[in-house]
């Protein structure tokens, strides 16, 4: 009788312990399951992030390659001289004007079209400033007015090509490419030119496009 009683008492005392063990085992199993799920989700998230980053890097490389192709096209097709600046790039383009004239020449339109294409593709949202110049023939005041008219003519052309934010300014006979050359003298046409300054928004750089012209 005592043995049975002892067995009953021991069994009664063991029930909470066994229940506790069962509970702990269940908790451990649940924690393991959740940990596996979390690890799987984390790994999946890392894989997704890596995939997105690789896709972004690939897209960036594609953009850079396209920019290089466009710049090479400007060099080879239009003899554009491109120089890197601290805050952008300078483009010396062969866009010039006849003496005492502010009309955009038909032979220069292809170069302007390509420039507009590059700006729209790689410098969207940028402010374009067209700087006009003249050769030293005529008075300082007249040359300032003529150089501004040239800048305005090019501004109108670029606006028609879809570039929205364009400003025009005239510098007259300052910053001559060939010092003192005027009218029909050798190099005078290089003084009759426009220069494009591209001021990009945000982190983008500034691109300057210089072109010979009066």
CA distances from 115 to 76, 110, 174, 176 (A): 13, 9, 24, 23
> What pLDDT score was predicted for residue 44?
53
**3-class SS at 115?**
helix
Question: What is the pLDDT at residue 173?
Answer: 97
Q: Give the 3-state secondary structure of residue 170.
A: strand
Dump the DSSP string for 12-66.
Answer: HHHHHHHHHHHHHHHHHHHHHHHHHHHHHHHHHHHHHHHHHHHHHHHHHHHHHHH
| Burial zone of 145 (CB within 10 Å; 0-12 exposed, 13-18 middle, 19+ buried) | middle
Residues 162 and 119 sit within 8 Å (Cβ to Cβ): no
Kind of pairing, strands 194-199 and 127-132?
Answer: antiparallel
Task: Report the pLDDT value the prediction gives residue 201, as an integer from 0 to 100.
Answer: 59
Each residue's pLDDT expressed in tens, for the chain with a length of 214 residues = 555 444 444 454 444 544 555 565 665 666 666 666 665 556 555 655 654 565 556 667 778 888 889 989 988 998 877 776 666 566 777 789 999 999 999 999 999 999 999 989 988 877 888 989 999 999 999 999 999 999 999 999 999 999 988 999 999 999 999 999 999 999 999 999 998 887 765 444 444 344 444 4
User: Parallel, antiparallel, or unpaired for β 206-210 and 88-92?
Assistant: parallel
Residue bearing tokens 């890392």:
46
DSSP letters along 76-88, please?
HHH--EEEEETTE
How wide is the angle at C-alpha 187 spanned by C-alphas 182 and 191, nearest 5°?
A: 65
Neighbours of 178 (CB within 10 A): 15
């Amino acid at each position: 009788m005592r043995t049975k009683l002892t067995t009953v008492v021991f069994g009664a005392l063991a029930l909470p312990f066994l229940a506790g063990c069962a509970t702990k085992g269940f908790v451990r199993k649940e924690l393991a399951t959740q940990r596996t799920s979390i690890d799987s989700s984390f790994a999946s998230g890392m894989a997704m992030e890596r995939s997105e980053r690789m896709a972004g890097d690939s897209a960036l490389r594609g953009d850079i390659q396209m920019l290089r192709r466009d710049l090479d096209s400007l060099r080879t097709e239009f003899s554009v001289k491109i120089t890197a600046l601290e805050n952008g790039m300078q483009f010396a383009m062969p866009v010039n004007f006849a003496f005492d004239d502010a009309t955009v020449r038909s032979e220069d339109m292809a170069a302007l079209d390509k420039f507009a294409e590059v700006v729209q593709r790689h410098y969207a949202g940028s402010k374009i400033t067209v700087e006009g110049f003249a050769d030293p023939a005529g008075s300082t005041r007249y040359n300032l007015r003529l150089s501004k008219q040239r800048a305005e003519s090019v501004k109108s052309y670029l606006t028609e090509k879809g570039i929205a934010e364009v400003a025009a300014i005239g510098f007259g006979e300052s910053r001559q490419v060939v010092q003192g050359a005027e009218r029909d003298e050798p190099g005078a046409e290089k003084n009759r030119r426009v220069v494009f300054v591209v001021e990009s928004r945000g982190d983008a750089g500034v691109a300057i496009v210089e072109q010979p012209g009066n």
